[in-house]
């Protein structure tokens, strides 16, 4: 099959298309013909080696973390899926590789696609949908009537998280540029801050939850807008000891995570709030709950641009540029 791979971290020429062996569907795996793949900033960070201490991949590495496609074959112990099913997933770490014509995904990481979505729309959902779900539902336990600040509202995670938070009954504040104000309002944002001309710290206060996706300076300011007992969940770091423990990192890396998050944790304690880091994980059962929300009309995908398979490098460069509205998709089949 054809796939986009890297042979080392920080490849000067980006990804390159190669002929690689077809994946094999083990007894708990589902072989999928890829129709579309979502592109994420995580793909860029993997490519540059930003996570190599935590996720030491072997080369050559097939890139890509979002998939929508059709089941070709199922392993002997697979019970939930059969050939011909339209499915989508964020494959588990070390089993990624969606910038390819075929991929084998563990049954536990897979879900049936929402009925109303195209392949391209479905491929936009898994990583950002699971990130928002795990941050707002699993970690924050966001409740009706609470206030949540979601940074970068017009981005991939932001566009999904705003809709999820509104469905949960929260008041939503977000940041974006002036050009995207109407977009985030249409998704449900109640308070919209133009990050180029306004300082959110002077506008927001007594918030219950912050979903942080920006730099260290923004994180520190975000801690100060929380009410006592509030929660900040960061998807951009710094990673903490809880993350190291959950992912089974070695003792040396646990010490490193402690040191990286020490200053942020201390500032949070002084303010009487909680800080935690989220590196989202694959979960087909959670994705099925997201499917139900989409089928019920509570959440809609937001897609900026669709690239043909041959232009996968252009798609990744577009995401790296940082101005995509919603998701960028590679159409494989």
Clarify whether residues 263 and 323 are in a common domain. no
What pTM does this model have? 0.97
Clarify whether residues 112 and 185 are in a common domain. no
Q: Is 310 exposed, middle or buried (0-12, 13-18, 19+ CB in 10 A)?
A: exposed
On whether residue 205 sits in a domain, the answer given is yes
Q: Is 73 exposed, middle or buried (0-12, 13-18, 19+ CB in 10 A)?
A: middle
Clarify whether residues 111 and 203 are in a common domain. no
| Structural domain boundaries enclosing 139 | 128-277
At residue 41, the 3 state secondary structure works out as helix
First to last CA, the chain: 12
* Element counts in the chain: helices (H) and strands (E): 10, 16
- Omega of the bond leading into 238 within 30 degrees of 0 (cis): yes
Angle, helix 126-133 to helix 156-167, in steps of 10 degrees: 50
Clarify whether residues 148 and 110 are in a common domain. no
Clarify whether residues 41 and 141 are in a common domain. no
Contact (CB, 8 A) for 30 and 63: no
Query: CATH number, domain at 148?
Result: 3.40.50.720
Clarify whether residues 114 and 247 are in a common domain. no
Clarify whether residues 113 and 140 are in a common domain. no
Clarify whether residues 188 and 250 are in a common domain. yes
Report in angstroms the alpha-carbon separations of 173 from 132, 176, 210, 231. Answer: 15, 10, 9, 15
On whether residue 109 sits in a domain, the answer given is yes
The domain total for the chain is: 2
pLDDT in tens, the chain (333 residues): 999 999 999 988 899 999 999 999 999 999 999 999 999 999 999 999 998 888 889 999 999 999 999 999 999 999 999 999 999 999 999 999 999 999 999 999 999 999 999 999 999 999 999 999 999 999 999 999 999 999 999 999 999 999 999 999 999 999 999 999 999 999 999 999 999 999 999 999 999 999 999 999 999 999 999 999 999 999 999 999 998 888 888 898 899 999 999 999 999 999 999 999 999 999 999 999 999 999 999 999 999 999 999 999 999 999 999 889 999 999 998
Query: CATH number, domain at 72?
Result: 3.90.180.10
């Amino acid at each position: 099959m054809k796939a986009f791979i890297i042979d080392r971290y920080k490849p000067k020429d980006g990804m390159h298309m190669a002929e690689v062996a077809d994946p094999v569907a083990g007894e708990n795996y589902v072989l999928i013909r890829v129709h579309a793949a979502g592109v994420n900033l995580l793909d860029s960070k993997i490519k540059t080696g930003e996570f190599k201490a935590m996720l030491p991949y072997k080369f050559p590495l097939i890139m890509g973390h979002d998939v929508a496609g059709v089941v070709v074959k199922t392993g002997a112990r697979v019970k939930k899926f059969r050939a011909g099913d339209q499915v989508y997933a964020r494959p588990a770490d070390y089993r990624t590789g969606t910038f390819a014509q075929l991929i084998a995904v563990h049954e536990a990481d897979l879900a049936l696609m929402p009925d109303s979505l195209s392949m391209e729309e479905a491929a936009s959902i898994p990583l950002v949908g699971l990130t928002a779900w795990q941050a707002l539902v699993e970690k924050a336990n966001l409740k009706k009537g609470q206030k949540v600040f979601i940074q970068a509202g017009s981005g991939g995670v932001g566009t999904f998280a705003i809709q999820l938070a509104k469905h949960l009954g929260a008041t939503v504040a977000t940041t974006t540029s002036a050009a995207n104000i109407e977009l985030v309002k249409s998704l449900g944002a109640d308070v919209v801050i133009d990050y180029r001309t306004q300082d959110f710290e002077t506008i927001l206060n007594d918030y219950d939850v912050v979903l942080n996706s920006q730099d260290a300076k923004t994180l520190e300011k975000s801690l100060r807008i929380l009410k006592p007992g509030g929660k900040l969940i960061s998807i951009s770091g710094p990673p903490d000891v809880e993350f190291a423990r959950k992912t089974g990192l070695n003792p040396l890396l646990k010490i490193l995570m402690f040191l990286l998050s020490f200053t942020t944790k201390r500032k949070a304690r002084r303010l009487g709030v909680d800080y935690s880091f989220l590196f989202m994980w694959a979960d087909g059962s959670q994705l099925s709950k997201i499917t139900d929300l989409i089928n019920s009309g509570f959440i809609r995908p937001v897609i900026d641009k669709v690239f043909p398979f041959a232009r996968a490098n252009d798609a990744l460069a577009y995401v790296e540029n940082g101005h995509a509205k919603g998701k960028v998709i590679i159409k494989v089949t």
